[in-house]
Structure 1
Amino acid sequence: MGCFSCCMSANCNRSRRSLKKHVNYKDRVTLASFVHNLSLKSVSDKKKITEKLQSVGKGSEVARLFTFSELAAATQNFRLESLLGEGGFGRVYKGFIESRNQDVAVKQLDRNGLQGNREFLVEVLMLSLLHHPNLVSLLGFCADGDQRLLVYEYMENGSLEDHLLDLPPGKEPLEWKTRMKIAAGAAKGLEYLHENAGTPVIYRDLKTSNILLDENFNVKLSDFGLAKLGPTGDQSHVSTRVMGTYGYCAPEYALTGQLTTMSDVYSFGVVLLEIITGRRVVDPARPACEQNLIIWAQPLFRDKKKFQLMADPLLEGNYPLKALHQALAVAAMCLQEEASTRPSIGDVVTALEYLAEPIEGE
């Protein structure tokens, strides 16, 4: 894609500081084994989690073990007025931890829902060991009896989905530069997971509802229950049960269960296309030929004269035409059918950092 190359070359001299690796390979193997074998059926298991976090974390802040009564008090007994959102995993409530004088988000997992003990443990351990400005901070967890709760930093602006898709009347749409800032932030979070976290971590569930926004629309990726340790050594992929959200899964992963970091790059391409178009990846309310975003976009990608047809109408033309072309070129590259032809997430970050820069004269 010429636009992608142009965007890259415009930024090729920028030095980008390498992020510190927090967990070495030996620790990650130990972590994987620990998650595989551990259950949460006893108090001793809860103690094992805390001990493991302390031994593997090597000085990083360890997630706190909360009691259920503490979190019930923090959310005023999980009252409806505190509800921030819900999904197949359970419900998320706004809470306040008095001992920390801090607003928090408390995710109460549905005991019969999609996120089981293993996914709960993966999220606790992953987010206790992985730290980056574009990953949500896990403050603690609760494993009282059959209760499973996760406590995160509170994100004032909710999720990208709240500001992008099916906006209620009167809600202002995101400006172009804010959209590119969000895209760049999400890509940086993936870049850390893929390239700077020791052994590669495959996120596996990138979507607009998992991209959280703080008061300044800075991005933090959330929901790491489906994350997987990536291939190491001579391995080319990880074979696993296909999970994730329909529409965002890479074709090779959906067909074979073979998972690589390029699977995340494909999902990022879907999200980037949603950011540009303001359309859901799957929208049954649209005409049949437009219900699947990727199928609708494919013929338009091949004709630059039709690129403006892909811009969110709510932008009302308020975007640099060249930047629109470059952003769509990045999305098209990420959505390549063949995984090997997709760009690395590091290259995507470089391109999007360029697009997210303030426009001269603003």
Structure 2
Amino acid sequence: MRKSSVFMIMATLSSTCYYLFVTIILSLCPITLCATVVEDLKNLHPPLDFNTTIMTNCLKNPSLRYCMGSSSMDLDEIFKFTIVASHLCNESKNPNCVESFPKIDLRNRPYIAPLYLSFGFFWKYCPLTILSIDLSNNFMKGTFPIELLHCTQIHSLDLSINELSGEIPIKGFSPLTNLTFLNLSYNCFSESELFDSQFFRRFNYSSFIHSGALLDHQRFTLKVVVLLVGFPVFVIFMVICLGWLCFHRPDILPRKLRRSSRFTPAILKAATCGFSSENLVGKSDVVHIYKGVLRDGTRVKIEMYLDDISRDGYRKFVEECKVLSELHHKNLVRVLGWCRSRTFRAIITEWTKEETVEMWLSGSSPPWNHRLKVLMGIVGCMRYLQQEWPQVDYDLNTSSLLFSDNMEPLISRFKVGDQNSNRRKICKFGVLLLEMILNKGVQAEFGGSDNGGFIRYMRSLNLADLQQMIDEKMEVTEASYYNQVKQALSLGLMCIEQSNCDQPSLAVIFNTMARAYKSNLVLPSANHRTFHGDRFKGHVLVQSR
């Protein structure tokens, strides 16, 4: 509940008591220094008869603000109010502070105005005679000083040219029914829909010039222009960026938005540091082979073909790559995808060691159980391809079979070929089986990519002749090993037979090799190169996916 004004206090206090207060206040502190107000509030205390005086005043005039509201009055607060009122009356340059207190004028007083605003008890008992409050041009910061709204009788309020921010307490102005002049211009209030409210209709536009509360038409127009022009430009820019990413660097997009098997020249260029010579690992007139690292850290091999093929040839190339990229087996070099530009086409595969089975046989002289494991991995992969991808043909030469990091044999050369070539595939395995057992002299005599001479020569020999050609580096001394090698030679001869009736099926080959491998699971010799990550662990089944 609001209290009375200082004028009413001064008018109703006994003349002796009032003049005593004024004399003490004016003699102890210069009114021109704001520090004296604080000192007065700190050092002065109500006289002993102040309570009696207040009670007498309330009996004479119950409408006084400090007489209304509560039964218990804070005499110390009321006394402080009289002190601040006396100072503020003089700071506002009122002509007669004793008889009237019509206005508060602290404009252009940036060091004093915040001090008087901080005295909440003064605004609580705001003098009823005050009709005008001017705190303009004081660089005040913070939110709207709602303490001023306790002076419900005022006619004029000027808070212009400050730095006030936040929301204007529109509802707080409702009790100020006599307010006819309001100036909140040149502040930083939050923009609100004042023009749609009854509050705005009480005043005119000049009350809110550059206050931040009203919609700035020029700024609004600028926003509309920026929105109408900037948004389409932004959309076009985003579409261009997205299109560039989709067609040039899809590897930057989330995985769900990528075409997993389609690579772009920009991706390959980034993976190889601009096709640098340091990443060039092989070169001929038709193909360049690069090593690279994709954005996700995958190491790859890029076979870049520089030949010019027809549109129909490229279509077949893409269809073949799509099929090959679907192959997943631990004994197959994985095809990750393909790429085409105006100057080349490329196949991208996982990076593997450069060691071939041929190099492994010549260099490390592996024992029979290691060779058997390699053969078991190859025949397992052959069964997977026959069951899942019968249209895929492959090469089983010792010079094309590679090793993975954990020494798993890998078929590295394959293509989409004749689905009815099972007989030829079994013949290839027979040649590989014989090459893995016989000494290098026999293989060197029939070197080259054409195995025709080697096959014809093998067909002319019997099993006893072949036993004399077994590679001595295998050191087959145990009878069980020797019997396995003889069975393998016999199986190899059956695989290269011309007659379909005499040639074993892939299922028979797999079962035969699996039985031999199962019975031969022993730890490798310390004198030979070991195989890491033995995945069989006593089982004969080979995972197909």
The question of a shared fold, defined as TM-score above 0.5 by the shorter chain, is answered with yes
In structure 2, stretches of 5+ residues that fail to align are: 1-245, 251-255, 524-545
Quote how far apart the aligned CAs of 1:110 are.
4.3
- The answer to whether the 8 Å contact 1:213/1:220 transfers is yes
Quote how far apart the aligned CAs of 1:278 are.
5.0
Aligned counterpart in structure 2 of residue 109 of structure 1, from 290, 298, 305: 305
Q: Say if 2:329 is the partner of 1:329.
A: no
The equivalent of 1:208 in structure 2 is 398
TM-score relative to the length of structure 2: 0.42
Quote how far apart the aligned CAs of 1:332 are.
0.9
In structure 1, stretches of 5+ residues that fail to align are: 1-45, 51-58, 231-236, 238-259
Q: Distance in 2 between matches of 1:342 and 1:291?
A: 17
Q: Distance in 2 between matches of 1:142 and 1:340?
A: 44
The equivalent of 1:124 in structure 2 is 321
The equivalent of 1:183 in structure 2 is 375
In our comparison, the structure showing a higher alpha carbon Rg is 2
Q: Distance in 2 between matches of 1:151 and 1:195?
A: 25
* Percent of matched pairs sharing the same residue: 26
Aligned counterpart in structure 1 of residue 424 of structure 2, from 259, 263, 285: 263
- The answer to whether the 8 Å contact 1:159/1:212 transfers is yes
Q: Match for 1:337: what amino acid? A: Q
Quote how far apart the aligned CAs of 1:103 are.
1.5
Q: Match for 2:264: what amino acid? A: T
Map Cα deviations across residues 3-39 of structure 1 (whole Å, 9 max, x no partner). Answer: xxxxxxxxxxxxxxxxxxxxxxxxxxxxxxxxxxxxx
User: Structure 1's 174 and 126: CA in aligned 2 closer, same or farther, altered over 3 A?
Assistant: farther
The equivalent of 2:459 in structure 1 is 298
SS at match of 1:310: coil
User: Structure 1's 358 and 212: CA in aligned 2 closer, same or farther, altered over 3 A?
Assistant: farther
Q: Match for 1:228: what amino acid? A: G
Quote how far apart the aligned CAs of 1:284 are.
5.5
User: Structure 1's 279 and 73: CA in aligned 2 closer, same or farther, altered over 3 A?
Assistant: farther
User: Structure 1's 285 and 292: CA in aligned 2 closer, same or farther, altered over 3 A?
Assistant: closer
The equivalent of 2:342 in structure 1 is 145
SS at match of 1:131: coil
- The answer to whether the 8 Å contact 2:398/2:432 transfers is yes
The equivalent of 1:310 in structure 2 is 469
SS at match of 2:364: coil
Q: Match for 1:173: what amino acid? A: S
SS at match of 1:339: coil
Displaced runs of 4 or more, over 6 A: 86-89
User: Structure 1's 333 and 64: CA in aligned 2 closer, same or farther, altered over 3 A?
Assistant: same
- The answer to whether the 8 Å contact 1:63/1:141 transfers is no
1:227-238 matches, cutoff 5 A: 227-228=416-417, 230=419, 237=420
SS at match of 1:64: coil
Q: Say if 2:539 is the partner of 1:347.
A: no
SS at match of 2:468: helix
Q: Distance in 1 between matches of 2:454 and 2:371?
A: 18
Map Cα deviations across residues 228-256 of structure 1 (whole Å, 9 max, x no partner). Answer: 251xxxxxx4xxxxxxxxxxxxxxxxxxx
- The answer to whether the 8 Å contact 2:402/2:412 transfers is yes
Q: Distance in 2 between matches of 1:132 and 1:183?
A: 15
Quote how far apart the aligned CAs of 1:69 are.
3.5
Q: Distance in 2 between matches of 1:339 and 1:346?
A: 15
- The answer to whether the 8 Å contact 2:281/2:291 transfers is yes
Q: Distance in 2 between matches of 1:281 and 1:105?
A: 33
Q: Distance in 1 between matches of 2:446 and 2:505?
A: 34
User: Structure 1's 141 and 133: CA in aligned 2 closer, same or farther, altered over 3 A?
Assistant: same
Q: Distance in 2 between matches of 1:318 and 1:80?
A: 50
Quote how far apart the aligned CAs of 1:77 are.
4.5
Quote how far apart the aligned CAs of 1:183 are.
1.3
Q: Distance in 1 between matches of 2:456 and 2:349?
A: 36
Quote how far apart the aligned CAs of 1:84 are.
4.8
Q: Distance in 1 between matches of 2:351 and 2:358?
A: 16
The equivalent of 2:517 in structure 1 is 356
Q: Match for 1:66: what amino acid? A: F
- The answer to whether the 8 Å contact 1:202/1:261 transfers is no
Quote how far apart the aligned CAs of 1:96 are.
1.6
Q: Match for 2:406: what amino acid? A: N
1:209-248 matches, cutoff 5 A: 209-225=399-415, 227-228=416-417, 230=419, 237=420
Quote how far apart the aligned CAs of 1:87 are.
7.7
Q: Distance in 1 between matches of 2:444 and 2:502?
A: 28
Quote how far apart the aligned CAs of 1:74 are.
2.4
Quote how far apart the aligned CAs of 1:335 are.
0.5
- The answer to whether the 8 Å contact 1:327/1:355 transfers is no
Tell me the matched-pair count. Answer: 262
Q: Say if 2:369 is the partner of 1:194.
A: no
Quote how far apart the aligned CAs of 1:343 are.
1.3
Map Cα deviations across residues 79-112 of structure 1 (whole Å, 9 max, x no partner). Answer: 5554555689734332222x22121122222416
Higher relative contact order (CA 8 A, sep 6+): 1
User: Structure 1's 65 and 361: CA in aligned 2 closer, same or farther, altered over 3 A?
Assistant: closer
Q: Distance in 2 between matches of 1:316 and 1:122?
A: 47
Q: Distance in 2 between matches of 1:321 and 1:274?
A: 16
TM-score relative to the length of structure 1: 0.61
The equivalent of 1:94 in structure 2 is 291
1:143-182 matches, cutoff 5 A: 143-156=340-353, 158-164=355-361, 167=362, 171-182=363-374
- The answer to whether the 8 Å contact 2:337/2:348 transfers is yes
User: Structure 1's 79 and 316: CA in aligned 2 closer, same or farther, altered over 3 A?
Assistant: farther
Q: Match for 1:221: what amino acid? A: I
